[in-house]
Amino acid sequence: MTLILHKMGDRIWKIIKTISDMYEIDLERFKHRRPFELLVSVILSQRTSRENVRKAMERFTRRFKSVEDVANARLREIEAAIKPAGIWKMKAKRIRNIARQLLKLEGGLDSILKSPYPEARKILASMEGVGPKTADVFLMAARNEPVLPIDTHIFRIMRRLGVADEEDDYESLRLRLEKETPPEMRMKAHLALIDFGREICRARNPRCSECPLAGICSSRRKT
Ligand code: SF4
């Protein structure tokens, strides 16, 4: 049993290391954003490309200057600003709800960012529209929290490579990957895995012939 666990640990590390080494990742990309903008960009990034998020954030930050602005805005104004990010009706509602909830919270986002990880995550995840993944990505981006958030790309890659199965959920897979990934590498690993999922191990037509992990992947396409 111990041997099997060791083997799984080695496998995870090989996957994380190989994929992290494939990409030049700009770890400073979140630095220029204020915390509320970061939270909005995490909400906007659901089911869309980075380019669409960039366009939507440009419009959003031009129109809204504070949490109060957003909390008091009409939904259709927020919708118009974030349109390039897609599913704007749902996202606009979520963003305004979050802004309103933050205004009720003493110290707002700053106080959350000063709290220890379990508490910060609990407060964020208790807000309507913020789940554990959004909370983790936000904390990772806003204060370099050493977490390795799991998105749909990472789930798919890990399933194909035999690291995750149907029994797994967000928490079990996150903890499994974090156990094998040094804290200082987790942000890079998260971002590199997403790039790999978008470019190589795509949901449809994965590019297995270009994949450096094809030799250990039983899901590889034989073509
Ligand atoms: S071999 Fe194909 S399915 Fe397997 S990890 Fe690589 S791209 Fe994904």
Q: Residue 180 belongs to a domain with what CATH number? A: 1.10.1670.10
Whether residue 175 has pLDDT greater than 80 = yes
Scanning 67-182, the segments in alpha helix (DSSP H) are 67-71, 75-82, 88-104, 108-114, 117-125, 132-143, 152-160, 170-180
User: CB of 101 within 8 A of CB of 46?
Assistant: no
Give the residue carrying structure tokens 């349109």. Answer: 83
CB distance 200 to ligand 1 below 6 Å? yes
Query: Is residue 85 a part of any domain in this protein?
Result: yes
Pocket test for ligand 1, best of 201, 209, 218, 223 (most atoms within 8 A of CB): 201
Does residue 221 fall inside a structural domain? no
pTM of the model: 0.92
Q: Please give the angle made by the CA atoms of 174, 26 and 215, to the nearest 5 degrees.
A: 55
CB distance 132 to 121 below 8 Å:
yes
199: CB partners within 8 A, 6+ apart: 207
The whole domain housing 61 covers 35-143
Span 60-100, pLDDT tens digits: 999 999 999 999 999 999 999 999 999 999 999 999 999 99
* C-beta atoms surrounding 120 within 10 Å: 21
Residue 39 belongs to a domain = yes
**Residue 161 in contact with ligand 1 by CB distance below 6 A:** yes
